[in-house]
Amino acid sequence: MSALTVRLVPVTPAEYAAFVPEQIREFADQKVRAGHWRPEEAQELSRHAVESFLPAAGPSEGHRVYRAVDEADRGVGWIWVGPPPVRMLNVPTRRWLYQITVDAPFRGKGYGRAMLAATEELVRHEGGQELYLNVFRWNSIARALYDSAGYEVVHESETETGMRKALNQKVTR
C-alpha cells in the first residue's frame, strides 16, 4: 500500500472564520484538562491567546492556516503553522506547528502522517530548518506520530511535551 499524500491549501475567509472559534474552544478545553486554567476563565483566556495570532481580519504575520485535501480533493484536516510563540525560539529558520487536526472520519488512516510530512515540506521549502510543537501528555496517538517522524523531546512538564525536528534531512522509520 502506498503512503497517503495530501496538499495543503490556504483556507478561504469562510473556512478561517470557522477555524478560529473551533481553535478557541479546543484550546480552552485542553488548558482546563491540563489544570492550567479554571473553567470559568478558560474561554476568555483562550480567545485572547488564539486571537493574538489569528485575529478576525486574518492571521498575524507569518501565521498560516491550511486545509489538507486528499487526492480526491476532499478536506481531511487542518494545519496551523507560524513563528514560535516563545521569543527566544523566534529566529527566521524556526517554525511552530500550532495545530494539526485530522477530521474525525479520516482518523487512524494515515492522514495525520501525510499532513505532518506536507507541513514539514512546506516549512523546508520556505527556508525553515526546525519545526517545534507542544503535545499534551495524554495525546498518545499524536505523541506516537511525532516520535515515529523523528521529533525529539526538548522539554517536558506534568501536562505537555515540547518537541522539535531538524528539517534538513528526512527521517523515515
Tens of pLDDT, residues 130-144 = 999 999 999 999 999
pLDDT of residue 88: 65
Q: How confident is the model at residue 171 (pLDDT cuts 50, 70, 90)?
A: very low
| Single-letter code of the amino acid located at 80 | W
Please state whether beta strands 130-136 and 94-102 pair in parallel, antiparallel, or not at all (unpaired): parallel
| pLDDT attached to residue 168 | 80
What kind and span of H or E run contains 145? helix 140-148
Domain 7-166 in this protein, CATH class:
alpha beta
What predicted TM-score, i.e. pTM, was given to this entire model?
0.90
Range 59-65 contact pairs with CB under 8 angstroms and sequence separation of 24 or more: 59/16, 63/98, 64/10, 65/10, 65/11, 65/15, 65/16, 65/19
Copy the grid coordinates of residue 120. 514539514
More confident residue, 172 or 118: 118
Return the H-helix or E-strand segment holding 8: strand 7-10
> What DSSP element (H or E) covers 31?
helix 13-33
